Amino acid sequence: MDTVLVAGATGLVGEAAMTAFAAAGWRVIATSRRTPDPMPPGDVRHIAVDLTDAQACQAAFEGLSDVTHVVYAALYEKPGLLAGWREADQMETNLSMLQNLMTPLTHAARSLQHVTLLQGTKAYGAHLKQPPLPARERAPRDDHANFYWLQEDWLHARAAQFDFAWTIFRPQIVVGAAWGAAMNPLLAIGAWAALRREQGLPLAYPGGSAHVMELVDPRLLGDAFLWAARSPAAGNNTFNITNGDVFAWPEVWPAIADALGMPLGPPEPTRIAPLLAASGEAWAALAARHDLRPIPLPALLGESHHYADALLRPGVEAVTLPILVSTIKLRQAGFPGCYDSEDTLRHWLGVMAERRLLPR
């Protein structure tokens, strides 16, 4: 039986990978510091390890001789998120995490066939400038410091040495129900909305002017990872991936309000990150009243509230929009998946309520 190791199993991408491979009948080894919550049904076991600890990684991975595939979705981000994107120690930490996992694993897993690695639109310099419209994978590498390039170059060399294939995916904005993630803006929006509802306030749009954006449903990523694990067309290639449509926050705001059972209010431009940072006690009281999971608000959000502000207030924060990527290469390679982005938002807000992360 094929065995996939999923690194970063508690994040949006890692949860999607675990769920997709387990549902397809694969044996799944999930690794992260805390236990995945929820753990998907199927043949899934968890290894608790901190990827920044080289000795712990050596002990954890040197015996995994049966691993045939890897989905590397682990990510280190600094508190506050945005400033860290430009800092060298953040880049070096992300490189060492990949090395700490793959160095013992490639010595142990002699049947390793394929590694999937995640990047994003920072590959096109989206955190520094306006990228080309649309950004394409065939463009020359954007000349800026980025942990993507450090990881990619190291992985290419490792793949050549140990004879396995790789695929790199560059998703746009990923939203889902994973809590504690560094970049899940929908959970931050949902938490902010729940606090407003407790105060009897409508769901006001807190952002700036409308900009065209692209979402990625994590279920789409799971399907893409499965495809890449089996498709010769995916080997040693980089692909942009999105739902296949576009959206703008003001245009989907009524759908978000409807999914949350809240009336719309007039726009109130504001930064939600500092409001959420100051709402720990209010959230604890809200969670108790609505029988939510007793997860402190900072742990629930990770760094996602900073990412939400960056997307809702482009130009004010550290993102310049629009950022659009071409997904033609992925389609031409044979992957046809797509999702309606409004349906994605509604679905995952519903899952958050089912998981008792947000009030029903």
Average pLDDT of the chain, as a whole number = 95
Domains of the chain, start order: 3-173+217-241 (3.40.50.720), 175-215+246-325+339-354 (3.40.50.720)
Task: Give the pLDDT band of residue 86 (cuts 50, 70, 90).
Answer: confident
Instruction: Report the percent of the chain where pLDDT is more than 90.
Output: 90
- pLDDT computed for residue 250 by the predictor: 95
Instruction: Report the percent of the chain where pLDDT is more than 70.
Output: 98
First and final C-alpha spacing in the chain: 40
CA atoms within 13 A on the CB side of 92: 3
Judge whether residue 220 has pLDDT over 90. Answer: yes
pTM of the model: 0.95
Average confidence (pLDDT) over 309-323: 76
Average confidence (pLDDT) over 278-299: 97
User: pLDDT (tens digit, 9 = 90+) per residue, 31-62?
Assistant: 999 999 999 999 999 999 999 999 999 999 99
Judge whether residue 219 has pLDDT over 70. Answer: yes
Contact 184, 176 (CB under 8 A): yes
Radius of gyration of the chain (CA): 20
Task: Give the pLDDT band of residue 85 (cuts 50, 70, 90).
Answer: confident
Task: Give the pLDDT band of residue 314 (cuts 50, 70, 90).
Answer: low
Helix and strand totals (H; E) in the chain: 13, 9
| Dihedral over alpha carbons 123, 126, 132, 138 (to 10 degrees) | 10
